[in-house]
Every structure is written in structure tokens, then in C-alpha cells.
Amino acid sequence: MKITRKYIFWQEFKIAKHEYGLHFVEDEFKEVLKPGTYWFFNPKDKHRVEVSSQLTPWLYNNVKFEEILFSGKLKGLAEVIDLKDDQRGLVWIDGRFNVLLEPGYYAYWISPQNVKVEIVDAKTVRFQHESLQQIVQTPYGKTALFQQMVLPHHAGLLYYDGCTMTANSSRPSRRDCTLFGIKRSM
């Protein structure tokens, strides 16, 4: 919370030129405050302003995050991402790989950075991308992706969810598991 001055029942909140303020009244999200100075009649401390910097593009608010996202008040200011269970997001900020997003809701400020989110299908076991080496070298890529080198003149065998996968297989079906002679409970 960013309170610059308080006069008996009035509070002043200043939002810098590179910030947005998330205005709450009695813990309910009301609006996004653009840069400027705001005064609120606040005798019972019902008004609260959380400052979010545009210099770090991700919008964070753990308690009321979904309420903020679905309020419609971020339109034109932030981009909202909804990744399903079978999707992942590759985030590039100013042309550099930043993070691999797991399923869930995310939001980032539209400016001043150039943020690009590439949504990829995670249904296939094998992840292929033109920037794979760059992605795998990041801390997020190392934890979210499994990488194993197969030496020349060797074969790699991958077991996924109890079933054997070939190099060009996608997620195995019940029939594939039977063909491999592996019994799975579905």
C-alpha cells in the first residue's frame, strides 16, 4: 500500500508514471488507477491501493487475482492469459526468453516492454521448438522440461505414464498400452 499523506479522514495516494494502482474498497477490487495523485475520504481505512510497476510486466495480487482479472477493468492496460491443462506458455520479453508458464491464469501489463506469449500444445510428449536450446538453458526450462541426450548409434526409449513411447508418438491410448503388454489402470 502506498500512502503518501494522511489528513484526519483523507488519504493521498500517488501513482508514479511507470505504475498502476489497484484500488480496493473493503477488500473488493474497484478500479485501476493510472499515474497521478488521488485523494480518498477514508475515515475507517476502507480504501487501499496496491501499486504495480509496469517495469516488471507481470501483474501479481495473490488474494484477489482472479477478481481483478475477470472484472474487465484491465481492458487496454493488461493482457490476460488462460492456459488450460494441456497448454503451456512460452514468454518472450523484448525478444528474450523469460519463462515457461504452467496451466493457470496470468496477466501482464501491455507496455512498456514488448511481451509475446506463445501458447504451445502440451498433449504431445515430445516438445519441439525452434528455440529449444535457449528455452532449456533457463531455470524454468530446466525444471519444466525433461531433457535426455541420446548418443549416436544408440536408441532412446521413453516411458510415459507406464507406456512405451516412440520418437514420433503422442500421448498413448489404452490400445497402445495393450500392444506394449503393459497393464494400466485407467
Domain boundaries, the chain: 1-53, 65-147, 150-186
Choose among 64, 113, 123, 67: nearest CA to 92. Answer: 113
Choose among 21, 19, 17: nearest CA to 68. Answer: 21
Amino acid at 145: L
What average pLDDT does range 108-120 have in this prediction? 88
Residue 164's pLDDT band (cuts 50, 70, 90): low
pLDDT averaged over every residue in the chain:
78
H/E run at residue 88? strand 87-93
51's CB contacts (< 8 A; 6+ apart) are: 1, 2, 15, 16, 19, 20, 21, 22
Residue 30's pLDDT band (cuts 50, 70, 90): very high
